[in-house]
C-alpha cells in the first residue's frame, strides 16, 4: 500500500518488532509535545496575568493548563489536513512577527559579550534538547507529504523550509543571547515585560502553538487508532480527549518548561530524527545488497551514518544525565 506516515516507513524497513518500538517512541514524543505546548501557553499567559493584576486563577500556571485543555481537545478532534495547513500558515506568520518584536527588544539592551559563557555543560539538556525539539520533527513529515497535491514537490519544499527555519532560528538565538545574556528565560518571550507590543507578541506565539498543535500530534493519534484496528468517530474523539487531558496532568506536574522540552527533544526527538533513520537506512541497504548486489548507500552515507548514530546516542545520554 501507500506509505503515508513515519510508522508505515518503519514497518516496511524494520518489520513488526522495530515498528512497535517506533510507535511507542512516537506516541511518547507527541505526548511530550502536547504537554510542552500546554505549559508554554499557560506560562506565557501567567506572565501577562502577573503584570496586569489578573484574578488569582489567571496567575496560576497549573490552573491555566487545565483551563486551556478544552481548546486543545477541540483542536485534537480535527481530521482535515487542509484545515490544519491553513491555520499552520497563520501560525507561521504569527511566530515570525513575534520573533521580530523579541529581537528588537533584545537589541535595546547593552551588549556585553564577556558575560556570555561559551558553554554551560550542566544546561546541556536545556539547549540541545530545545534544538532537537524544534528541528528533529521528521516523524511529522511523511504525513505532510502524503497529503500534498503534488508529492514530487515535497523534497524541495522540505529542504527550503528546513534551512530557512534554521537560518531564522540561528539569527534569533544569536541576537537573543547577546541581548539578554545568561539570565534569559527558558521561554524567551517572557523577557518582554508589559505594554501593547509585549501582549501582542505573547498572544501571537500562543496562537502559533495552537495552530501547529493538530499537525504535530496527528501522527500519534493515527498510530493509536491503527493499533486498535481503527476507531469510530466517537471512540476516536474519546481517545484524543483522554490523551490531551493526560498530557495536561503531566504538564501541570512538571515544574520546568525548559526541562520538559529538553527531555522530549533530547531523547525522543533525537531517537526519531537521528537514531532510527540510520538503522532504517542500513537495514534496507543490507537487504538490497543481498538481493541485487547493488548498495543504495553512497560512500558519504557510509561515512556519516555511524557518526550520526554515535552522536545521537551521546546526545541522549548527556540529556538524561543533565536533566
pLDDT digit string, tens, across residues 142-191: 877 777 778 888 888 888 888 888 888 888 888 887 888 777 766 666 67
Helices (H) and strands (E) in the chain, counts: 12, 0
Residue 107 to residue 53: CA distance in whole angstroms:
28
Q: What is the pTM of this model?
A: 0.72
3-state secondary structure of 242: helix
Residue 17 to residue 167: CA distance in whole angstroms:
38
Residue 169 to residue 59: CA distance in whole angstroms:
30
Closest CA relative to residue 113, chosen from 65, 157, 175 = 175
CB count in 10 Å sphere of residue 310: 12
Question: Does the pLDDT value for residue 18 go beyond 80?
Answer: yes
3-state secondary structure of 298: coil
CB count in 10 Å sphere of residue 305: 17
What is the H or E stretch that residue 283 is in?
helix 276-292
Quote the crossing angle between the two packed helices 233-253 and 61-76, to the nearest 10°: 160
pLDDT of residue 89: 75
pLDDT of residue 112: 65
Decide which of 177 and 62 is more confident. Answer: 62
For 306, the grid coordinates are: 555511524
For the four alpha carbons of 57, 88, 270 and 129, in that order, the dihedral sign comes to negative
Percent of the residues in the chain that have a pLDDT greater than 90, as a whole number: 14
CB count in 10 Å sphere of residue 69: 22
Question: Does the pLDDT value for residue 111 go beyond 80?
Answer: no
Question: Does the pLDDT value for residue 1 go beyond 60?
Answer: no
The pair phi, psi for residue 54, each rounded to 5°, is -65, 165
pLDDT of residue 189: 67
Whether the Cβ atoms of residue 192 and residue 202 lie closer than 8 Å to each other = yes
Reported as a pLDDT band with limits 50, 70 and 90, residue 236 is very high
Lowest-pLDDT range, 3-7, 32-36, 64-68? 3-7
Please give the C-alpha separations between residue 28 and each of 62, 215, 217, 224, in angstroms, as whole numbers. 21, 16, 10, 11
For 304, the grid coordinates are: 556519516
Residue that has been written with the C-alpha cell 504525513 in this structure = 143
273-304: pLDDT as tens digits: 889 999 999 999 998 988 888 888 888 888 99
pLDDT of residue 62: 87
pLDDT of residue 313: 92
How many CA atoms does the CB half-sphere of 37 hold within 13 Å?
29
Whether the Cβ atoms of residue 56 and residue 291 lie closer than 8 Å to each other = no
The pair phi, psi for residue 184, each rounded to 5°, is -60, 140
Residue 130 to residue 109: CA distance in whole angstroms:
24
Amino acid at each position: 500500500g501507500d506509505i503515508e506516515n513515519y510508522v508505515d516507513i518503519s514497518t516496511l524497513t524494520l518489520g513488526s518488532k522495530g515498528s512497535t518500538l517506533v510507535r511507542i517512541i512516537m506516541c511518547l514524543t507527541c505526548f511530550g509535545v502536547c504537554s510542552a505546548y500546554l505549559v508554554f501557553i499557560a506560562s506565557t499567559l501567567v506572565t501577562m496575568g502577573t503584570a496586569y493584576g489578573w484574578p488569582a486563577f489567571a496567575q496560576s500556571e497549573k490552573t491555566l493548563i487545565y483551563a486551556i485543555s478544552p481548546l486543545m481537545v477541540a483542536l485534537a478532534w480535527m481530521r482535515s489536513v487542509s484545515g490544519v495547513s491553513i491555520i499552520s500558515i497563520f501560525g507561521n506568520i504569527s511566530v515570525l512577527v513575534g520573533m521580530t518584536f523579541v529581537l528588537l527588544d533584545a537589541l535595546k539592551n547593552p551588549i556585553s559579550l564577556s558575560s556570555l559563557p561559551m558553554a554551560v555543560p550542566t544546561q546541556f539538556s536545556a539547549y540541545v534538547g530545545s534544538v532537537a525539539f524544534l528541528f528533529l520533527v521528521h516523524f511529522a513529515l511523511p504525513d505532510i507529504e502524503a497529503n500534498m497535491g503534488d508529492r514530487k514537490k515535497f523534497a524541495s519544499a522540505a529542504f527550503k523550509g528546513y534551512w530557512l527555519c534554521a537560518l531564522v532560528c540561528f539569527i534569533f538565538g544569536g541576537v537573543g543571547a547577546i541581548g539578554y545574556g545568561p539570565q534569559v528565560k527558558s521561554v524567551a518571550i517572557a523577557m518582554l515585560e508589559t505594554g501593547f507590543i509585549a501582549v501582542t507578541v505573547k498572544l501571537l506565539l500562543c496562537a502559533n502553538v495552537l495552530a501547529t498543535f493538530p499537525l504535530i500530534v496527528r501522527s500519534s493519534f493515527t498510530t493509536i487508532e491503527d493499533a486498535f484496528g481503527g476507531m469510530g468517530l466517537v471512540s476516536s474523539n474519546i481517545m484524543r480527549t483522554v490523551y490531551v487531558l493526560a498530557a495536561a496532568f503531566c504538564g501541570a506536574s512538571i515544574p520546568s518548561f525548559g526541562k520538559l522540552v529538553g527531555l522530549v527533544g533530547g531523547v525522543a526527538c533525537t531517537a526519531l530524527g537521528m537514531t532510527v533513520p540510520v538503522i532504517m537506512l542500513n537495514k534496507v541497504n543490507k537487504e538490497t545488497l543481498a538481493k541485487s548486489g547493488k548498495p543504495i548507500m553512497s560512500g558519504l552515507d557510509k561515512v556519516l551514518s555511524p557518526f550520526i548514530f554515535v552522536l545521537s546516542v551521546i546526545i541522549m545520554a548527556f540529556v538524561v544525565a543533565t536533566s
